[in-house]
Chains A and B, each alone.
Chain A
Amino acid sequence: MIAQILFLILLGVSAFFFARRIGEIRRNIKLGRDIDRSDNSSERWKTMFMVAIGQSKMVKRPIAGILHILVYVGFILINIEVLEIIIDGLFGTHRVFATLGAGAIYDFLIGCFEILAFLVLVACVIFLVRRNVINIKRFHSKEMTKWPKSDANIILVTEVLLMFALLSMNATDAILQERAATMMASGQEVSETLSHYIEAGSFPVSAWLVPLYDGMSVDALMTTERFMWWFHIIGILGFLVYVPYSKHFHIFLAFPNTYYSKLLPKGELPNMEAVTNEVKLMLDPNADPFAAPAPDPDAAPIKFGAKDVQDLTWKQLFDSYTCTECGRCTSVCPANQTGKLLSPRKIMMDTRDRLDEVGKGLENGAPKDDGKSLLRDYISEEELWACTTCNACVEACPVNIDPVSIIIDLRRHLIMEESKSPESITAMFNNVENNGAPWAFPAADRGKWIEELNS
């Protein structure tokens, strides 16, 4: 009974912290500007099925991709066993699904989970080696020190421990099942607690662990089994609370994030509507500037581009929380590969970190002026100007994140709000404006090649 109450409290506390953090993230994302991504739902579902559920972009790098699929499938399926553990915890039952009848199915499922748990364990160990021993460049960039580096390792070590606990729990359970059965067969009295260990499940993997625990007494075995059970479930609840603070939150957000992907061609950079309206007025010789409706004095002044996170769209902010920090984008970025400061992964991490900072300092739901902004305090002009808008990062991202759109929005702010650009870019603007070409050639010379053609 005490165990049940304790379990209930643990469950409640972790659910509370999880929900609180989800609320924070929701609130932060809603600080972003509106953008309509509700169209074309069939195409959106398709994208989600392919990219998130089907992991189509993960397997472009086969080693990491296949290992990741193991962990992903393992994670989803082992949840069935977690559900059983939760029911057992709440109602004081033991292996409740086994008592539902259909023992063969139960045996089969437990067998599958064991194999998956083992594969997850192996994959996580390989991931740890890849991150910490083998020198894979994308795991050792500047932005991957300190917390982001520990974050990845914490998650992997936790998963290894959880899987080990699960298998140990099964191993001790199997021994106890056998002992209870032999005792009963030989007419010995079986204590009530021991009689809980009904024969259920098949243990193709944890059978290997049996020699580790076989020498123990029944009491010691029961203690170990309970310890592993609690360790495993507390670990999982801890994981639940931890995940939304971690890059690991992509396990939930990858699905909606791919659903809300940009469906336009990658090269299409949507036009800014506010600018269209102004340009139309400027170009229309009949437009009467006084005929325009008087500006609404309460309306927020139009801001062009983005200086801080709240000037970005909610989708760009959603992207930042979905980023897995895998660095695939950065590893294909031409600027980054040639030693420039720009790293598209850092653009996403900066956006997320700044958004968290803004979110913490909200006053009455609105961002307060803390004298900082995404531009400059997090992302420098030098980074922005190194981007070639080649879209390699967008192509590579396994969860369809679009770092270029943030880069362009920050550039838009620099140009349209601050008139700040490298000198040669300013010169290019002037040339386009005056000569209709980015170089200082007179427009009249545009046809010169035609004369040259026949000479």
Chain B
Amino acid sequence: MSEYIKVPTMAEMMASGEVPEVLFWVGCSGSFDDRAKKITKAIVKILHRAGVKYAVLGAEESCTGDPAKRAGNEFLFQMQAMQNIMVLNGYGVKRIVTGCPHCFNIMKNEYPELGGNYEVLHHTQFINELIKDGKLQITDGKSFKGKRITFHDPCYLGRANDVYEAPREALQTLDAELVEMRRCKSKGLCCGAGGAQMFKEAEPGNKEVNVERTEDALETKANVIATGCPFCNTMMTDGVKNFEKEGSVEVKDIAELIAEAGDLL
């Protein structure tokens, strides 16, 4: 499908006197990382297909401050947060969809006290909402019949905010078999990237966390490991490569799977 998609920025919307329903907060991974950009594109295609009136901040978006905060740099976090809040409030943003559970967590829980009060949704929640409201039909694309999908709960979506069902409900609309890992939902094992680990070498140990987690996923004999976080995606992809299983096991964000099923990619 090669339909031209215009991604409006907040500034453009404002200039033409329009107000979007939601702001799509892309996040740093989704903006810069080649793998994560594919997820961003899938989300945008879903928004477009469902006829959602959305906008992005484009160059006006800046890091939420999550990695800085979790690494102990509260100053840098609050500087980032307050600047972002100024921009968001300037545009009168009410509803935000994020492409990353870390952005979701910090904007939902830690921005309000600094003056940023928004309804914040993770993209899997929003996609699930679109499907439930009948705004998004995903029947004409790739079939997942006979495939096994296992979902890796991102810590900052699951344990941190108790969102376990929305991503699973979205996956259930695919005609695949959803299988759970030994450790799932509130007991899910971290991929190893949170708390600023993504930006440093792991401490000395006898194994990498992502390898341990990938073992859980491979144990389910799934063909697809579904993720909801660009960091998890990187970690699980590396884990699968570590076991040389990239030929038989895919690591895909839920947005990508839904977009494939809707023939959007």
- In the assembled complex, how far is the CB of residue B135 from the closest CB belonging to chain A, in whole angstroms? 21
Interface pair B109/A429, CB less than 8 Å apart: no
A369 at the interface (CB under 8 A from B): no
A-contact 0/1 string along B1-39, CB 8 Å cutoff: 000110101000000000000000010101110000100
The total number of A-B Cβ pairs within 8 Å is 220
For A283, give its contact among B68, B83, B198, B200 (CB under 8 Å): B83
A338–B210 Cα distance when bound, in Å, is: 10
B-contact 0/1 string along A388-424, CB 8 Å cutoff: 1111101100000000000010011111100001101
Q: Which residues of A contact B113 (CB under 8 A)?
A: 271, 276
A54–B217 Cα distance when bound, in Å, is: 34
Interface pair B78/A338, CB less than 8 Å apart: no
Which parts of B24-67 form the interface with A (CB within 8 Å)? Answer: 26, 28, 30-32, 37, 40-41, 44, 56, 58-59, 61-63, 65, 67
Interface pair B75/A408, CB less than 8 Å apart: no
- In the assembled complex, how far is the CB of residue A143 from the closest CB belonging to chain B, in whole angstroms? 17
9-residue interface stretch from A144-152, A347-355, A435-443: A435-443
For B155, give its contact among A279, A342, A390, A415 (CB under 8 Å): A390
A305–B69 Cα distance when bound, in Å, is: 12
Interface range for B:
35 or more
Interface pair B202/A283, CB less than 8 Å apart: no
Interface pair A432/B67, CB less than 8 Å apart: yes
Q: Is the interface of A mostly helix, strand, loop or mixed?
A: helix
Given A276-B114, A412-B72, A267–B161 Cβ distance below 8 Å? yes
A282–B83 Cα distance when bound, in Å, is: 11
Given A388-B192, A388-B193, A272–B74 Cβ distance below 8 Å? yes
A339 at the interface (CB under 8 A from B): yes
Interface pair A392/B189, CB less than 8 Å apart: yes
Q: Which residues of B contact A304 (CB under 8 A)?
A: 74
Interface pair A340/B204, CB less than 8 Å apart: yes
Which parts of A19-59 form the interface with B (CB within 8 Å)? Answer: none
Interface residue tally for chain A (C-beta within 8 Å):
70
Interface pair A275/B74, CB less than 8 Å apart: yes
A341 at the interface (CB under 8 A from B): yes
- In the assembled complex, how far is the CB of residue A316 from the closest CB belonging to chain B, in whole angstroms? 16
For B209, give its contact among A382, A388, A448 (CB under 8 Å): A388
Interface pair B189/A334, CB less than 8 Å apart: yes
B242 at the interface (CB under 8 A from A): no
Interface pair A264/B62, CB less than 8 Å apart: no
B162 at the interface (CB under 8 A from A): yes
Closest to B198 in A: A438
Q: Which residues of A contact B204 (CB under 8 A)?
A: 339-341, 382
Given A388-B197, A429-B76, A421–B71 Cβ distance below 8 Å? yes
A443–B63 Cα distance when bound, in Å, is: 10
Q: Which residues of B contact A282 (CB under 8 A)?
A: 79
B-contact 0/1 string along A422-455, CB 8 Å cutoff: 1011011100110011110101111111101110
Interface pair A429/B71, CB less than 8 Å apart: yes
Interface pair B203/A334, CB less than 8 Å apart: no
Q: Which residues of A contact B62 (CB under 8 A)?
A: 436-437, 443
Q: Pick from A276, A283, A390 the residue with the most CB of B within 10 Å.
A: A390
Interface pair A441/B79, CB less than 8 Å apart: no
Q: Which residues of B contact A266 (CB under 8 A)?
A: 159-161
Q: Which residues of A contact B7 (CB under 8 A)?
A: 450, 453
A270–B61 Cα distance when bound, in Å, is: 23
A-contact 0/1 string along B99-128, CB 8 Å cutoff: 000000100011001100000000000000
B-contact 0/1 string along A226-237, CB 8 Å cutoff: 000000000000
Closest to B9 in A: A447
A299 at the interface (CB under 8 A from B): no
For B28, give its contact among A415, A425, A437 (CB under 8 Å): A437
A-contact 0/1 string along B183-224, CB 8 Å cutoff: 000110110111111111111111111011100000000000
Closest to A332 in B: B187
A308–B103 Cα distance when bound, in Å, is: 31
- In the assembled complex, how far is the CB of residue A305 from the closest CB belonging to chain B, in whole angstroms? 7
A205 at the interface (CB under 8 A from B): no
B73 at the interface (CB under 8 A from A): yes
Which parts of A55-98 form the interface with B (CB within 8 Å)? Answer: none
A337 at the interface (CB under 8 A from B): yes
Given A268-B109, A275-B78, A391-B159, A342–B203 Cβ distance below 8 Å? yes
Which parts of A265-307 form the interface with B (CB within 8 Å)? Answer: 265-272, 275-276, 278-280, 282-283, 304-305
Q: Pick from B56, B67, B203, B212 the residue with the most CB of A within 10 Å.
A: B203
B245 at the interface (CB under 8 A from A): no
Interface pair B63/A392, CB less than 8 Å apart: no
A282–B4 Cα distance when bound, in Å, is: 44
Interface pair A432/B195, CB less than 8 Å apart: no
Which parts of B122-173 form the interface with A (CB within 8 Å)? Answer: 155-156, 159-162
Q: Which residues of A contact B40 (CB under 8 A)?
A: 449
Interface pair A436/B80, CB less than 8 Å apart: yes
Given A265-B162, A388-B155, A439-B28, A382–B74 Cβ distance below 8 Å? no
Interface pair B189/A450, CB less than 8 Å apart: no
Q: Pick from A392, A413, A427, A452 the residue with the most CB of B within 10 Å.
A: A392
- In the assembled complex, how far is the CB of residue B243 from the closest CB belonging to chain A, in whole angstroms? 16
B70 at the interface (CB under 8 A from A): yes
- In the assembled complex, how far is the CB of residue B213 from the closest CB belonging to chain A, in whole angstroms? 8
Closest to A420 in B: B72
Interface pair A416/B28, CB less than 8 Å apart: no
Given A267-B109, A386-B202, A335–B209 Cβ distance below 8 Å? yes
B82 at the interface (CB under 8 A from A): yes
Interface pair B114/A392, CB less than 8 Å apart: no
20 contacts between A and B (CB under 8 A): A267-B159, A268-B110, A269-B110, A271-B113, A334-B189, A334-B192, A338-B207, A338-B212, A339-B207, A340-B203, A390-B155, A390-B194, A391-B160, A392-B190, A411-B72, A412-B73, A437-B32, A438-B28, A439-B28, A441-B32
Residues of A at the B interface (CB closer than 8 Å) are 264-272, 275-276, 278-280, 282-283, 304-305, 332, 334-335, 337-342, 382, 385-392, 394-395, 408, 411-416, 421-422, 424-425, 427-429, 432-433, 436-439, 441, 443-450, 452-454
Beyond A279-B75, A334-B192, A438-B199, 20 additional contacts (C-beta under 8 Å) are A267-B160, A269-B69, A269-B70, A276-B78, A278-B75, A338-B212, A340-B202, A340-B205, A341-B203, A386-B203, A422-B201, A428-B67, A428-B71, A428-B196, A429-B71, A429-B76, A436-B62, A437-B32, A437-B63, A453-B5
Sorted nearest first, the 5 A-B pairs with minimum C-beta distance are A267-B160, A411-B72, A389-B195, A339-B206, A436-B62
